[in-house]
Amino acid sequence: MEHISLAVIGGTGVYKLAQLDDVSSHQVETRYGTPSGPIRVGTLLGQRVAFLARHGEGHSLPPHKINYRANLAALQQIGAQRVLALNTVGGITEHFGPRVLACPDQLIDYTWGRISTLCDEPGTDVLHVDFGHPYTPMLRSKVLAAAKVTGVRLQDGGCYGATQGPRLETNAEIARMRRDGCDLVGMTGMPEASLARELGLDYACLAIVANWAAGCGDGDEITMAEVLANVDAASSGLPELIGELARG
């Protein structure tokens, strides 16, 4: 097992990691089943980094069908102890508009019916993990420091609301989330974050704001073309940031 400095999970619009060289592919099976696709391990700015496309490299898996347990277990099996999640999201509050890159520090889980714990497996211990700070504070600090070193503009903090999907939310649902204190809305933040905690992995999120959430923008219909264009723009500095983070 080689030393992996950092594992990155890519969301919608991020199906590979730019500037990853000397890439090898790993098809990993876990006790929880098969992950979303092959894990690509390569060198980024001198560091060995693993990458996994959360939805599959062809975006074939909707949020509620992703095997989050297998994804995280597979990354751990190949030697990763730190995971950076890239999540494509909608923006709710004023500082989280399209093309903003954010590092949230809180989340609220609105999902349902997903396997959300390792404790579903027969014979496993019942885990009551501390989840008051859902993202590992030390890793978050290092993400913020890497952004500062590389000059990548990053919004520090914010609350991520995880919804079921795959449909987008109604105006009323987003209004409720705003009242609840959510700044961002996405479909894949949970149970990924809590499973990482149960597995003992350090875990942080970089939220890529692709569009205004329902009722928060100019009222135009959200299109995938708009989403992908905004993701590309917001992601331009990610290779340098991730490479710096992997060194830390």
Annotated binding residue 212: yes
Tell me which residue has tokens 């990053």: 154
Annotated binding residue 188: yes
Which structure tokens are listed for 126?
């019942």
Distances (CA, A) of 41 to 66, 81, 111, 195, 210: 21, 14, 31, 22, 27
Question: For the CA atoms of the chain, what is the radius of gyration?
Answer: 17
Interacting residues of 41 by C-beta distance below 8 A, sequence separation 6+: 2, 4, 23, 24, 25, 26, 48, 49, 50, 51, 78
Annotated binding residue 43: no
Annotated binding residue 12: yes
Annotated binding residue 55: yes
Annotated binding residue 213: yes
E strands, the chain, are 6-10, 21-26, 39-44, 47-53, 82-91, 101-103, 106-109, 155-156, 159-162, 184-186, 202-212
Q: Which of 76, 71, 103, 69 is nearest to 89 (CA)?
A: 103
Instruction: Report the greatest alpha carbon distance in the chain.
Output: 52
Interacting residues of 153 by C-beta distance below 8 A, sequence separation 6+: 101, 147, 237
DSSP secondary structure string for all residues of 113-161 = SS---GGGSTTPPP-----SSSS-HHHHHHHHHHHHHHT---EE--EEE
Annotated binding site for phosphate: 12, 54-55, 188
Annotated binding site: 12, 54-55, 187-188, 211-213
Annotated binding site for substrate: 187, 211-213
